């Protein structure tokens, strides 16, 4: 085995999109081990249709031990994952690159800097997952000390945080979804007003009634197109479907892929999520506006 044979180990559509961006940025073909879900399969098909530089795509349940054991360089979407902790502790990869798993990139960086617990934000951990945390933490830090760990991210980690990571040996490379924008077909008339679905009711962060109130306000005065979140429940979608002037458009794809080909300004409404970082990059130069709650983000600015 060549110690830098690469494998993308991904569990969500956004992680898979990050792997496609990494492969393009490094001009190399990347095999993929992807969690067996309908959303990930649909995203993989779409990325391949757009020319993603993927090698073999292997669906899996649990931990793809055999694939990981044959690969020296892991592209990992979720550093907080209990499965990653176990695999890293047992197999000790030669090199690790962390892709984006939503806004957890910043929380994970802080965990590696001992500024917060090595645990996913908002989750109470127990059992084996907790016991593996210090072992996985040490494995990652050892790779960084040998200049064999880093981040490939769309998120701005901040100069002070980035400097602290560099001091520990981590490499950091920003990307702006250049491949996603370059390969995107024109958007199929999504509508000027876009409302992005959220899993906050599923996660218990707000009630369903509060969520429907927000959707109703975000869609007004209408018409508007609603792009569901991949983890929305059937009950939530049914409640949203009753909102006047709102059309639900299910794509089973990350919103970054759905909207990347926009050629005219879009008015996008969302609750706080990683899209407040990713979509301004994807829609750079379109004069679109992204409103998260009461905060608006212009996409006229150039990407970093």
Residues 296/289, Cβ–Cβ less than 8 Å: yes
pLDDT digits (tens, 9 = 90+) for 277-290: 999 999 998 899 99
Q: 216 and 239 in contact (C-beta within 8 Å)?
A: no
C-alpha span between 194 and 104 (Å, rounded): 25
What contacts 278, CB < 8 A, 6 or more positions away? 14, 154, 177, 256
DSSP H helices, the chain, are 13-25, 38-49, 65-69, 82-91, 104-112, 128-145, 159-167, 178-183, 208-219, 234-241, 255-259, 275-282
pLDDT score, position 101: 82
List all residues 6 or more positions away from 49 whose beta carbon is below 8 Å from its beta carbon.
none
Q: What is the mean pLDDT of residues 70-83?
A: 94
Strand-pair category, 149-153 with 171-174: parallel
| Structural domain boundaries enclosing 201 | 183-298
Note the pLDDT of residue 188: 66
Distance CA 144, CA 96 (A): 9
Q: Which of 150, 175, 200 is the last residue of a domain?
A: 175
Is 33 within 8 Å of 83 (Cβ atoms)?
A: no
- What is the pTM (predicted TM-score) of this model? 0.91
Torsion over CA: 119, 123, 128, 129 (sign):
negative
- pLDDT for the residue 212: 95
* 75 falls within a domain: yes
Q: How confident is the model at residue 201 (pLDDT cuts 50, 70, 90)?
A: very high
Say whether both 187 and 122 belong to one domain. Answer: no
Comparing 19-33, 70-84, 121-135, the range with the smallest average pLDDT is 121-135
Is residue 224 situated within a structural domain?
Answer: yes
Find the mean pLDDT for residues 259-268.
91
Mean per-residue pLDDT, 128-147? 94
d(CA 43, CA 230): 11
* 244 lies in some domain: yes
| 216/80 same-domain check | no
CATH number at residue 53: 3.40.50
Query: In the structure, what pLDDT confidence band is assigned to residue 295 with cuts at 50, 70 and 90?
Result: very low
The mean per-residue pLDDT over the stretch 159-170 comes to 97
pLDDT over 80 at 294, yes or no: no
Residues 65 and 118 in one domain: yes
Assess if residue 303 is contained within a domain: no
Residue 189 covered by a domain: yes
| Residue 104 predicted with pLDDT over 80 | yes
pLDDT value at residue 190: 63
Indicate whether 166 pLDDT > 90. yes
What is the C-alpha separation between 168 and 146, in angstroms, rounded?
A: 9
Q: pLDDT value at position 300?
A: 52
Spatial strand order in the sheet of 6-10 = 54-60, 30-35, 6-10, 73-76, 95-98, 149-153, 171-174
Whether residue 153 sits in one domain with residue 99: yes
136 and 74 Cβ atoms separated by less than 8 Å: no
How far apart are the two ends of the chain, measured CA to CA in Å?
Answer: 36
Using alpha carbons, select from 259, 257, 265 the residue that is nearest to residue 285.
Answer: 265
State how far Cα 236 lies from the chain centre: 22
Q: 27 with 103, same domain? A: yes
Residue 263 CB burial class (10 angstroms; 0-12, 13-18, ≥19)? exposed
- Average pLDDT score, the chain: 90
Residue 157 and residue 279 share a domain: no
Adjacent-strand bridge partners of 193: 267
Q: Is residue 242 part of a domain?
A: yes
In a domain, 304, yes or no: no
- Structure tokens, 265: 């300004």
């Amino acid at each position: 085995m060549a110690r830098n044979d690469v494998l993308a180990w991904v569990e969500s559509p956004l992680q898979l999109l990050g792997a496609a961006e990494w492969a393009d940025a490094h001009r190399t073909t990347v095999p993929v081990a992807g969690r067996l879900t309908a959303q990930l399969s649909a995203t993989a098909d779409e990325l391949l249709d757009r020319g993603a530089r993927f090698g073999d795509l292997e669906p899996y349940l649990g931990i793809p031990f055999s694939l990981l054991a044959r690969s020296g360089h892991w592209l990992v979407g979720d550093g907080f994952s209990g499965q990653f902790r176990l695999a890293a502790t047992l197999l000790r990869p030669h090199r690790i690159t962390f892709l984006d798993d939503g806004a957890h990139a910043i929380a994970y960086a802080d965990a590696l800097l001992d500024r917060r617990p090595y645990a996913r934000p908002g989750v109470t951990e127990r059992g084996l997952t907790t016991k593996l945390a210090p072992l996985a933490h040490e494995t990652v830090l050892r790779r960084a000390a040998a200049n064999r760990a880093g981040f490939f991210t769309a998120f701005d980690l901040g100069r002070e945080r980035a400097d602290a990571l560099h001091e520990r040996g981590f490499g950091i490379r920003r990307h702006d979804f250049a491949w996603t924008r370059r390969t995107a077909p024109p958007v199929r008339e999504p509508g000027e007003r876009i409302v992005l679905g959220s899993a906050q009711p599923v996660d218990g962060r707000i009630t369903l009634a509060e969520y429907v109130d927000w959707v109703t306000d975000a869609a007004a005065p209408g018409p508007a197109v609603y792009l569901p979140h991949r983890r929305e429940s059937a009950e939530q979608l049914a409640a949203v479907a009753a909102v006047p002037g709102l059309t639900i458009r299910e794509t089973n794809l990350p919103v970054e892929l759905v909207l990347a080909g926009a050629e005219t300004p879009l008015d996008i409404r969302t609750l706080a999520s990683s899209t407040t970082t990713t979509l301004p990059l994807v829609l750079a130069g379109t004069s679109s506006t992204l409103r998260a709650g009461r905060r608006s983000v212009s996409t006229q600015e150039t990407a970093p």
